[in-house]
Homo-oligomer: A and B are copies of this chain.
Amino acid sequence: MSNDMTPDTERQRGGMSRRGFLQIATLAGAAAGFTGTLARSENEIGYYAMDLSDDTLRHMLRTILRIRWHERTMADKMLSDPSYRAYNHFYAGQEAVATGVCAALRNDGPFDQIDLVYSTHRPTGHAIAKGVDMAKMQAEFDFRATGLNNGYAAEMHISDPDVGFIGADGMIGPGHVIATGSAFAFRARGSDQVSVVFGGDGTYATPHFHSALNNARLLDLPFIYVLENNLYHQYAHYSHSCPHADIADAARAYGIPARVVDGQDVFQVYNAAKEAVDRARAGGGPSFIEAKTYRYYNHWGAPGAEVGKLGAFGYDPLAISSFRPERELRSWMQRDPVDIARATLIDWGVMDETTADTMETDVRAEVDAAFAWAAEQPLCTPEDGLKHVFAEGVVAPRQMA
C-alpha cells in the first residue's frame, strides 16, 4: 500500500470525498502490486465501507487479527504440544471473507431479530466474526465440559444460537438447503432477518446447490450464499468438479444477483455483503457472493507447517496431480487479508502504525488467555453422553449389561 498516510485531523466524517477518492487509489495500488493473482473485483458495487464509523472499521481489522492469531496459536499448539487434543480445519488466508460478511449482519439482540449464519467444516473464522466467545470455543475444540457446546461438538459442530451462529456443519451440501429453510421461516413470519450460508467451491457439485438456489429464487427468500472459492476441495482443484470459471455464473443462471469479489479485501467483501443484506431485508430475495480466496494451510490439521511460521508448504501426501503448487500459495500470501485491511485503515487515517501494532499485541494476549483458560477447563463426565438426545431426559446406556 503505497499511498501517503492521511493525517488524523482530516478524516473525521464518513463523507464521500476523501474516502471515495482513497478507495480508488487503494484499489489501483492493489491492482498494480498484485497483478497475476486470481482475485478480482467488480467495481460497480457501491463502496459502502467508506460510510462505516471508525470504530466499526477498527473492529473489522481486530476481527481479522483475532481469527489470524487464533489460527496461528492452534497451529503452534498442534505442532509443539503433545497434550493438545484438538483437531481443526484452518481458515487462515480467508479471514476477510468471514469478517466482511458478518460486519454487514445483525449479530446481537433477541434470537428472533438477529441474522443467522450457517457455517462449514471450517468454522472458526465464521464463528469469531459472528461473535462467538473465543475462549469457550477453544474449550470446545479441546472437548471440555465447559466448552461452547459442553464437549459434544468439537470443531466441526460448534454452535452458538445466542449470536445467530447456527453452527458448523461437517457435511458438504445439506447446510445450504437447511439455511434456505431459516430464510423461509423469516419470510413466513414477516421478519426482516437474513439467513447466510458459507460454503466452499466444493459445494458447487452437490445436488444441494441446485435445491438451495432454485428454491431461494422461486420463493424470493432472504438468503445469501457466500461461496468461498479457495480453488481447492481437499486435494482437487475446483475445475475438476465445476465447468464455470466463476461459480457466480451458476447462480446468475437462476436469476439470482451474484457478485465476484476479491476475498482478500475485507472492504470489498463488506460492500457486496451489505448490498445483499439490504436487498434481502427489503424483500428483494436471495443473493450470491463468490469470494476468490485461498487457504494458507492444508485441508485438515497442520501438516507441512512449522512452529512460529504462517502457512504450510510442500505437503502433497498423495502426489495428487491437481494439488496446489507451493508457488501458488506463496503468490496468494503476497495479498494477505491482514496486510490489506491494516494498510487500508492506515491509509484512510483510521489508525496509524502504532495503534495497529498495539491492537495486534492486545489480540495476541487475548488469544493466549483464551487458550490458557480452555486448557484449564474440566473434562466431560462420561455419563453425560446419554443426555441431549431429546429435549428431555436421558437415553439408556446399552454398552453394558
Contacts and interface: CB of A to CB of B under 8 A. Distances in A.
Interface in A236-292: 240-243, 249-250, 253-255
Q: Which of A214, A240, A241, A255 is packed against the most chain B CB atoms within 10 Å?
A: A214
Interface in A301-340: none
A241 B218 contact: yes
Contacts of A209: 210
Contacts of A240: 218
A206 to B, nearest CB: 8
Contacts of A217: 243
Interface in A199-232: 205, 207-211, 214, 217-218
Nearest to A254: B243
A287 to B, nearest CB: 15
Given A243-B254, A249-B253, A207 B218 contact: no
Contacts of A250: 253
Contact of A255 (B207, B208, B241, B243): B243
Nearest to A256: B243
Nearest to A207: B207
Nearest to A214: B205
Nearest to A177: B207
A241 B211 CA distance: 11
Contacts of A243: 214, 217-218, 254-255
A207 B209 CA distance: 8
Contacts of A254: 243
A211 B217 CA distance: 19
Given A249-B253, A253-B253, A255-B243, A211 B207 contact: yes
Contacts of A255: 243
Nearest to A204: B214
A163 B208 CA distance: 35
A253 B253 CA distance: 6
Nearest to A217: B243
A242 B254 CA distance: 9
Contacts of A249: 253
A215 to B, nearest CB: 8
A205 B242 CA distance: 20
Contacts of A241: 214, 218
A198 B297 CA distance: 45
Interface in A77-124: none
A133 B210 CA distance: 38
A288 to B, nearest CB: 13
Nearest to A249: B253
A210 B242 CA distance: 11
A214 B253 CA distance: 14
A77 B198 CA distance: 56
Nearest to A211: B207
Interface string A172-211: 0000000000000000000000000000000001011111
A297 B255 CA distance: 33
A343 B207 CA distance: 44
Contacts of A253: 249-250, 253
A212 to B, nearest CB: 9
Q: Which of A208, A210, A218 is packed against the most chain B CB atoms within 10 Å?
A: A210
15 contacts: A205-B214, A207-B207, A207-B208, A207-B211, A209-B210, A210-B210, A214-B241, A218-B240, A218-B242, A218-B243, A243-B254, A243-B255, A249-B253, A250-B253, A253-B253
* 3 nearest A-B pairs in the assembled complex, by CB-CB distance: A207-B207, A253-B253, A210-B210
